[in-house]
Copies of this chain bind each other. A is one copy, B any other.
């Protein structure tokens, strides 16, 4: 049969004028219905009016293209013919649903009308055909309610008012003395219909049309109109969906799963969306409507016997009881079950992905209402991808693209026991994932003391500073009241792979009283709390957690990723422990080993402070000599863990004032120890004060001002490497100078380090290979990369600082406006979370181009927080970096993102993209 109208696509009853690939024109729903029809699957017949009509509608003052009315009439006639029912017929009426459908799913944003075609007359026909007056009048009641709301716009009078229809129903239940909607009888429902219509007449000034065609056209207009309602516009703005995509309208014949015991409705996945296990997984309700399943009003039953038995066993239900009270689709509708199984397999093979299907059984006849890609957990996503590749349903590249890199991190951290109860007292930012519980402590020293006695602690601070590192180190998790996703606490916690909830602004902390309170709950020092760092939740008491597992398919999946990726993946790690963890997760070296954390260890900080208070290079050298052996030990430990792999060690970066004590008593203690007065110490502190420490006396500027510091660090690194060399361990240190902005700065420091190296090699009698390179973190380094690149052996983009300086935004202070900027889409993304491709990325591009031009063998990486963000990793691939470096726990994420980037780069044609 030929097409009825160019913008109308018929499906069902042996016809399929559309295809899955026509989602732009038909919307996701319409396209997949056509696709199912083309597979000869039992789809209730209907037709889709294309998105182009939507655009026409808006371009022409809410008018329709020529011939559309006629086309719709003819299409309805074709549906009537296929089903042997007639629209508006008093004996055997055809009812339809009218639904919206955009090319991407916009759940709940636009409108739907069901049971359209019901009138005072046709409801009688439905009564007869179904033999169920209550069903017929309930359907009419629902239709009136939906039509009144969606099409006639009868909404609550203000935001706080109840739904006017529900108010009438509630009133009816009270007068009838019943509790459930289902307790209302046919008379009640008939009265409700009258009362609904009276309300509509009084509020809207018109009645529900008694002509089904009028109903249909009003509903079509309402659906097109809903494309530009406030909710839909807001949703599109947030999700970056262009307004000119438009929505399609699908008009489909209604089928009913609630006409009797030979009817049912259900939803099912082709594989378990929780575990990824192969096999049908879903539930159904006999004699029910689709809404009932979705709304969860009645408890669904399993589709397969197997799943049902697992559930029964876990719930302590006998097989006999199960079989009689909870019989499955397989048991209740064996023939339909077989057919459904076949269809389900067919759909999965056809779409080559796990499907999420809706179906209805009307009088033992199966109808497929929808199929779409099934949403799934991280575990299921990886397992399904691996299994399908092994089953040759998809190739490995496709498998790798099927998993969101972010999801992989869920494998690596403990989670809250899904079955446990929790009393959430406050929410903050999900700064570092995982779930932990412990006793509340309010200072780093307290954390160390309590942890030393073998108890688990959660460190709670208004905000953390480098002084708190030793406490963070021993704590299970960290909770702060201030600071964003890139605050000190968040960054350090992610680096340590420790759970952290940051910026929990509801929290009030009273250090003096030793209490924290939020939303009325007060927690005292020593009491237990639980943190969910993935959800940002602060929970009172001790909630059980479950340990992470790394199933074999996870490793297999990552090994496939490694074969595809070009980018190297290294870790940011400051301790031997972190280095070991990172290597286990697949790190190919360390891209950033920060040395300042080592300075904060309690036994060292004193010498560090002595160094800062030194009045000349000699005194400074003396203090540094105390730290040298300890640093040498640190470096030896890390280099050994990473034997055979490069380890980039950054020399001291933060401004010196960060190392000085702040509290009065600490100042007094230190003054006594180093033989000076507290006043002098405070003077030194003041003299080191900076208005903008981010742009102050830090990084290589310290190395220029106090050459002793960098020389001592270089010595510690190279002595450690020589020691290992003597033990036949291959250490590969890469010495990195922070905050270089000018070639001469680099040259001076590099030549001092080379002098130290020559001395050390002479003293030790062995030589080790080492390189000297620089962070690229000030914009000037990017534009003068040709000059710096000519003398440096490697670059590592420090994109945290580079982002701060490129935007002129201090991340510590950005809380006041950055959220607003992201919410209002002034910035597409928070640039501290995802590398800004246009600004920061462009400076990187310039830096890479110029650096490589000056030095063909220049090795270039990235060691900012962005190194673990999938979109940023992909940008790094496109920019041609050699490697990314990230927190140990982000390494699997980076490995996958790097693989996806490589695959995407070779993909020449656009693929059909599942949503």
Which residues in B have their C-beta under 8 angstroms from that of A842? 783-784
Cα(A787)–Cα(B745), bound, Å: 34
Q: Quick check: A695 and B692 within 8 Å, CB to CB?
A: yes
Q: Report the minimum CB–CB distance from A162 to chain B (whole Å).
A: 29
Q: Which residues of B contact A453 (CB under 8 A)?
A: none
In the complex, which residues of chain B have a beta carbon less than 8 angstroms from the beta carbon of A817?
697, 701, 704-705
A701 to B842, CA, bound (A): 23
A807 in the interface, Cβ–Cβ < 8 Å?
yes
Contacts of A691 in B (CB 8 A): 692-694, 810, 812-813
1/0 contact trace for A808-849 toward B, CB 8 Å? 111011001100110011110000000010111011001000
Contact residues in B for A812 (Cβ distance below 8 Å): 690-692
Min CB gap A749→B, angstroms: 10
A695 touches B694 (CB 8 A): yes
Q: Is the CB of B694 within 8 A of A744?
A: no
Known: A812-B691, A817-B705, A827-B742. A780 touches B697 (CB 8 A): no
Q: Does A33 contact B (CB under 8 A)?
A: no
Give Cα A815–Cα B810 distance, bound, in whole angstroms. 21
Pull 27 A–B residue pairs with CB atoms less than 8 Å apart, ordered by A.
A691-B692, A691-B810, A691-B813, A692-B694, A692-B810, A692-B812, A692-B813, A694-B810, A695-B804, A695-B808, A695-B809, A696-B813, A704-B820, A704-B821, A741-B808, A744-B825, A748-B824, A748-B826, A777-B808, A778-B806, A779-B805, A780-B839, A783-B839, A783-B842, A783-B843, A784-B842, A805-B806
Provide the residues of chain B in CB contact with A779, threshold 8 Å.
779, 805-806, 808, 839, 843
Q: How distant is the Cα of A739 from the Cα of B809 in the complex, in angstroms?
A: 10
Most buried by B among A701, A787, A812, A824: A701
Complex partner residue of A813 from B695, B780, B826, CB under 8 angstroms: B695
Tell me whether A801 is interfacial, beta carbon within 8 Å: yes
How far apart are A848's CB and chain B's nearest CB, in angstroms? 14
Copy count, this protein chain: 2
Of the residues B692, B704, B801, B820, contact of A693 by C-beta under 8 Å = B692
The 7 closest A-B pairs by CB, nearest first: A695-B810, A780-B839, A692-B810, A778-B808, A779-B779, A696-B813, A783-B842
- Closest Cβ of chain B to A677, distance in Å, is 19
CB of A898 to closest CB in B, whole Å: 25
Q: Are B810 and A696 in contact (CB under 8 A)?
A: yes
CB distance from A651 to the nearest CB of B (A): 16
Write out, one digit per residue, whether chain A residues 734-766 have a CB within 8 A of any chain B CB (1) or not (0): 000001011011001000000000000000000
Can you name the residue of chain B whose Cβ is closest to the Cβ of A783?
B842
Query: How far apart sit A43 and B426, CA to CA, in the bound complex (Å)?
Result: 95
Residues of B within 8 A of A838 (CB): 780, 783-784, 787
Chain B's nearest CB lies how many Å from the CB of A31? 33
**Distance of A797 from chain B, by nearest CB (Å):** 14
Chain A residues close to B by CB (< 8 Å): 690-697, 701, 704-705, 739, 741-742, 744-745, 748, 777-780, 783-784, 787, 801, 804-810, 812-813, 816-817, 820-821, 824-827, 836, 838-840, 842-843, 846
Q: Nearest chain-B residue to A850 (Cβ)?
A: B842
Nearest residue, chain B, Cβ from A803: B780
Chain B residues whose C-beta falls within 8 Å of the C-beta of A741 in the assembled complex: 806-809, 839
Considering the chains assembled together, what is the distance between the CA atoms of A650 and B745 in angstroms? Answer: 36
Contacts of A690 in B (CB 8 A): 810, 812-813
A695: chain B residues at CB < 8 Å are 692, 694-695, 804-805, 808-810, 813
Min distance, Cβ A152 to any Cβ of chain B, angstroms: 35
- 8 new A-B contacts at CB < 8 Å, known A693-B813, A704-B821, A783-B806: A695-B804, A695-B808, A696-B813, A704-B817, A704-B824, A741-B807, A748-B824, A778-B808
Given the contacts A697-B817, A784-B842, A826 and B745 also touching, CB distance less than 8 Å: yes
Given contacts A704-B817, A705-B817, contact A806 B780 (CB under 8 A): yes
Q: Which residues of B contact A739 (CB under 8 A)?
A: 808
Q: How far is the CA of A820 from the CA of B744 in the complex (A)?
A: 13
A816 to chain B: closest CB distance in Å? 4
Q: Which residue of chain B lies nearest to A801 when distances are taken between CB atoms in the complex?
A: B808
Residues of B within 8 A of A821 (CB): 704, 745
Q: Is the CB of B807 within 8 A of A780?
A: yes
Task: Using known A-B contacts A780-B806, A783-B842, A808-B739, determine if residue A826 contacts B692 with beta carbons closer than 8 Å.
Answer: no
**Closest chain B residue to A656, Cβ basis:** B816
Contacts of A692 in B (CB 8 A): 691-695, 810, 812-813
**Chain B residues near A805 (CB-CB < 8 A):** 695, 779, 805-806, 808
- Taken together as a complex, chains A and B put the C-alpha atoms of A690 and B704 apart, in Å, by 28
A742 contacts which chain B residues (CB < 8 A)?
826-827, 839
Chain B residue nearest to A778 in the complex (CB) = B808
Question: Whole-angstrom distance between the alpha carbons of A887 and B428 in the complex?
Answer: 49
Asked whether A840 lies within 8 Å of B704 as measured between CB atoms, the reply is no
Q: How far is the CB of A459 from chain B (nearest CB, A)?
A: 21
Q: Identify the closest chain B residue to A690 (Cβ).
A: B813
Shortest CB–CB separation between residue A213 and chain B, in angstroms?
A: 45
CB distance A784 to B701 under 8 Å? no
Q: Which residues of B contact A787 (CB under 8 A)?
A: 838
Tell me, rounded to whole Å, the shortest Cβ–Cβ distance linking A725 to chain B.
34
CA distance A703 to B285 in the complex (A): 56
Measured between alpha carbons, how far is A805 from B781 in the docked complex, in Å? 11
User: What separation, in Å, do the CA atoms of A360 and B743 have in the docked complex?
Assistant: 51
- Smallest Cβ distance from A402 to chain B, in angstroms? 33
Distance in angstroms between the alpha carbons of A779 and B809 in the assembled complex: 11
Which residue of chain B lies nearest to A688 when distances are taken between CB atoms in the complex? B816
Closest to A740 in B: B808
Given contacts A787-B838, A813-B692, A839-B741, contact A780 B801 (CB under 8 A): no
What is the bound-complex CA distance between A825 and B692, given in angstroms?
Answer: 24
A816 nearest CB neighbor, chain B only: B697
The residues of B that contact A696 with a CB separation of less than 8 Å are: 809-810, 813, 816
User: Which of A804, A816, A825 has the most CB atoms of chain B within a 10 A radius of its CB?
Assistant: A816
Q: Taking each of A692, A810, A821, A842, which has the highest tally of chain B beta carbons within 10 Å of its own beta carbon?
A: A692
**Residues in chain B near residue A694, CB distance under 8 A:** 691-692, 695, 808, 810
Cβ contacts under 8 Å, A813 to chain B? 690-693, 695-697
A807 to B806, CA, bound (A): 10
Distance to closest chain B CB from A238 (angstroms) = 15
Chain B residue, CB-CB nearest to A687? B816
C-alpha spacing A816/B704, complex, angstroms: 11
Cα A745 to Cα B831 in complex, Å, equals 15
Determine how close the nearest CB of chain B comes to the CB of A417; give it in whole angstroms: 39
Across the two chains, which residue of chain B brings its CB closest to A745?
B826
C-alpha gap A826/B807 in the complex (Å):
26
Chain B residue with Cβ nearest A826: B744
| Residues in chain B near residue A777, CB distance under 8 A | 808
| Chain B residues in 8 Å Cβ range of A745 | 821, 826
Q: Which residue of B lies closest to A840 (CB)?
A: B780
Rounded to whole Å, the gap between the CB of A517 and the closest CB of chain B is: 18
* Nearest CB of B to A240, in Å: 13
Query: Which chain B residues border A809 with CB–CB below 8 Å?
Result: 695-696, 741
Distance between Cα atoms of A219 and B64 in the complex (Å) = 105
Q: What is the bound-complex CA distance between A690 and B739, given in angstroms?
A: 22
Task: Report the minimum CB–CB distance from A554 to chain B (whole Å).
Answer: 39
B residues near A807, Cβ cutoff 8 Å: 741, 778, 780
* Nearest opposing residue in chain B for A845, CB measure: B783
Residues in B neighbouring A705, C-beta threshold 8 A: 816-817, 820
Give the Cβ gap from A698 to chain B, nearest Cβ, in Å.
9
Chain B, Cβ-Cβ closest to A780: B839
Whole-angstrom CA separation of A817 from B824 in the bound complex: 40
Determine which residue in A701, A779, A812, A843 has the highest number of CB atoms from chain B within 10 A of its CB, and name it.
A779
A701 neighbours in B (Cβ, 8 Å): 817
Report the bound CA distance from A838 to B786 in whole Å: 11
Selected contact of A839 from candidates B697, B784, B808, CB within 8 Å:
B784
User: Which chain B residue shows the least CB distance to A787?
Assistant: B838
Kindly list chain B residues whose C-beta atoms are within 8 Å of the C-beta of A744: 825-827
